[in-house]
Structure 1
Amino acid sequence: MVTKNKTLNRIILYCLVTLTVVTTVFPFLVMLSTALKSNEEALSTTPNLIPANPTLEHFMDVLNPKVFPFWTYFFNSFQISFATALLSVVVGTLGAYSFARLEYKGRGWFQKGVMLIYMFSGVLLVVPLYQMITAANLYDTKISLIITYLVLTMPVSLYMLGNYFRTIPESLEEAAMMDGLNRLQVIYKIVIPLSLPAIASVFIYVFMIAWNDYLFASVFITSEENMTLPIGLSHLFHTKHYVWGRMMAASLLTAVPVVLLFSMMEKYFVGGLTDGGVKG
């Protein structure tokens, strides 16, 4: 009876995993299929998943500056996302370490205040952020988006890094300081190497938020030379070059950097880096 229950549970588990994978991957297969179809086939009343005559025409059109300034939008998005993620990691590491290790007056209130910001929806922050950005003469600049994304992602960065720092034995840091290291040296030589999984997670999280954002980019950016990919894709809908194949091709190309970034940093997503660091 026990064996039958285990088999049934395993079958249910496999079915749920298969269903999850199918529902996750299927939209991307449809996007790829549409991107490889001709215009006539993409608009056919009898759709099929496998293109009858695959073509790379739509990908070449998207990468053609005369049709769509993909590379301009791409480099704008990359610069903003990378700068935001890097600053979030640097500032978040120092701030989270102070929450996790240092004792000072008002620390608890600072922590609660940071998490309180995260409770507000991004829509509610549009107006005050817009007022601050315009008052600082940063409207329609990449810096305005970097500042905005830092405000949105910093609470989660501090929370994730702070919780991870608390898992590192304090005795490792105490031993390092006894050997002559100061607090900053302890952070960069002890804490950061042991926290690479959390730091990589924060970097990818912030990068994805900045890379995929549409709301704030559409509010703070108006000139084409500063537009990001999400805004560029939305503008493609309203141009004479709009066809489904190009939209799907551009969408797939937009997703490539995030997939590559995750693949390169996947090795850091391991646990137990500090296991055995201190013996009882």
Structure 2
Amino acid sequence: MMNKRTKLQSFILYALVIFLVVFCIFPFLQILSTSLKHPIDWGNPSLIPKVLHLDAYKELLGLMPPKEIEVPASIQRLLDNPALSETKRQALLAKFTSGGDVFSFGRYMLNTFVISLVTGVCATFLASLAAYAIARLRFPGQSVMANGVLFVYMVGGVLLMVPLYQMSVSVGLASSVGGTLLSLFLIYLIQTLPVAMYMLGNYFRTIPFSLEEAAMMDGCSRVEAFWRIIMPLSKPMLFTVFIYCFVIAWNEYLFASVFLKQYQDFHTLPLALQTLFTSKNAIWDRIMAASMLTLLPVIICFMLANRHLSGGLTEGGVKG
């Protein structure tokens, strides 16, 4: 029989839990607070802004109305010259008009979302096929493959970066935008497939094989039994694996910084944020607002998938 905790032990336990929770969420609260503060309020140590300032978010999302900047007298005389063409006049005026597009956040978020979504879908699909083969079929080298899929994590990404980039250059993929994106996509698959296969393989073993046998006795082939029985029953783990692959691709910086460096329009958010930190537009509220908007999709994914994540992770860890 387990001994009950004393009031002092319970107090210490709860205090430690509260301390760990506050310790983990404090950086995010600080980021949110700074992103909502007016520049004159940055020195305020309080997490609650004195004045709610949303201009940083409006600038990043392109919601700021265009504002005119004072045109120097020399430029104004040039604009008044009747010999100046209308095209050149508009080009000069555009330099003195701010539309709030100091950082193409929407474009970078779209780039990251597309790459992460494609990676998540493809990795989940391929991992489900491979994991089912390892969990259900019998073939030479099965145990070696089942235990060796995680070998890729024994080698750091820094060590793989140079040879992978050289391979991409040697086959001509790095010479075009499409080839570079394909190379990056393949690398993300390599990074996510091993764990995805491991998680799905453990989950498939918890599903009784008798369900597949019953389906095959009713006339289904093994492939049909896989799609009609295994996949519907594996939705929690499939969702878990998808979220895992999506987040890995969403937050990846190392390979994106090498492969996409020369293609600025195709930068992902982690790479674009690093560029923002060192640019003339590096203002604290804008940096923190961009960081919060980068975190938001991941937080939303975990909130929506919380039920599937908890079920998938616990059930996938038990062998049938």
TM-score (norm: length of structure 2):
0.79
**For residues 132 and 111 of structure 1, do their structure 2 counterparts lie closer, same or farther at Cα, with a shift above 3 Å needed?**
farther
Q: Name 1:177's counterpart in structure 2.
A: 216
Counterpart residue number, 1:278 = none
Give the number of the structure with larger relative contact order, counting CA–CA contacts within 8 Å between residues 6 or more apart. 1
Deviation at 1:188?
Answer: 1.4
Structure 2 counterpart of 1:82: 117
Tell me, yes or no, if structure 1 residue 193 matches structure 2 residue 228: no
CA RMSD after TM alignment: 1.9
For 2:163 and 2:255, the matched residues in 1 are separated by: 12
Select the residue among 191, 194, 199 that pairs with 1:155. Answer: 194
CA distances 1:118-148 after superposition (whole Å, capped 9, x unpaired)? 2222212112211222233332532222111
Alignment deviations for residues 168-209 of structure 1 (CA, whole Å, 9 cap, x no partner)? 111111111111111121111111111122111111111111
Q: Residues of 2 paired with 1:12 and 1:189: CA distance?
A: 51
Q: What letter matches 2:29 in structure 1?
A: L
Moved more, 137-146 or 82-91: 137-146
Report percent identity of matched pairs.
Answer: 47
Q: 1:57 to 1:93 in 2, by over 3 A?
A: same
Report the counterpart of residue 52 of structure 2 in structure 1. Answer: 54
Structure 2 unmatched runs, 5+: 63-99, 316-320
Is residue 60–residue 106 contact of structure 2 (8 Å, CA) maintained in 1? no
Name whichever of 149-158 and 106-115 sits farther off: 106-115
Compared CA separation, residues 58 and 161, structure 1 to 2 (3 A)? same
Whole-angstrom CA distance in 2 between matches of 1:270 and 1:143: 33
User: 3-state SS of the aligned residue for 1:53?
Assistant: coil
1:112 corresponds to 2:147:
yes
Secondary structure at 1:47's aligned position in 2?
coil
Instruction: Establish whether residue 73 from structure 1 lines up as the match of residue 104 from structure 2.
Output: no
- Report which of the two structures shows the higher radius of gyration computed on alpha carbons: 2
Aligned to 1:28: 28
Distance 1:185 1:7 in 2: 58
SS of equivalent to 2:5 = helix
1:36–1:51: 8 Å Cα contact kept in structure 2?
yes
**1:130 equivalent among 159, 165, 175:** 165
Q: Secondary structure at the match of 1:51?
A: coil
Q: Which amino acid aligns with 1:103?
A: R
Q: Counterpart in 2 of 1:243?
A: 283
Aligned to 1:13: 13
User: Given the superposition, is the C-alpha separation of residues 182 and 270 from structure 1 closer, same or farther in structure 2, using an over 3 Å criterion?
Assistant: farther
- Alpha-carbon distance in 2 for matches of 1:209, 1:68: 24
Task: Tell me if structure 2 keeps the 8 A contact 1:59–1:249.
Answer: yes
Structure 1 CA distance for aligned equivalents of residues 238 and 10 of structure 2:
35
**Secondary structure of 1:48's aligned partner:** coil
Q: Structure 1 residue 111: deviation in Å? A: 2.5
1:209 aligns with 2:248: yes
- Cα distance, 1:239 vs structure 2: 1.4
Give the whole-Å Cα distance in 1 for the aligned partners of 2:163 and 2:227.
Answer: 35
The alignment's TM-score, normalised by the length of structure 1, stands at: 0.90
CA separation of 1:248/1:270 partners in 2, compared to 1, >3 Å: closer, same or farther? Answer: closer
8 A Cα contact 1:38 1:55, kept in partner: yes
Asked if the contact 1:118–1:156 (Cα under 8 Å) also holds between the matched residues in 2, the reply is no
Residues of 2 paired with 1:14 and 1:100: CA distance?
42
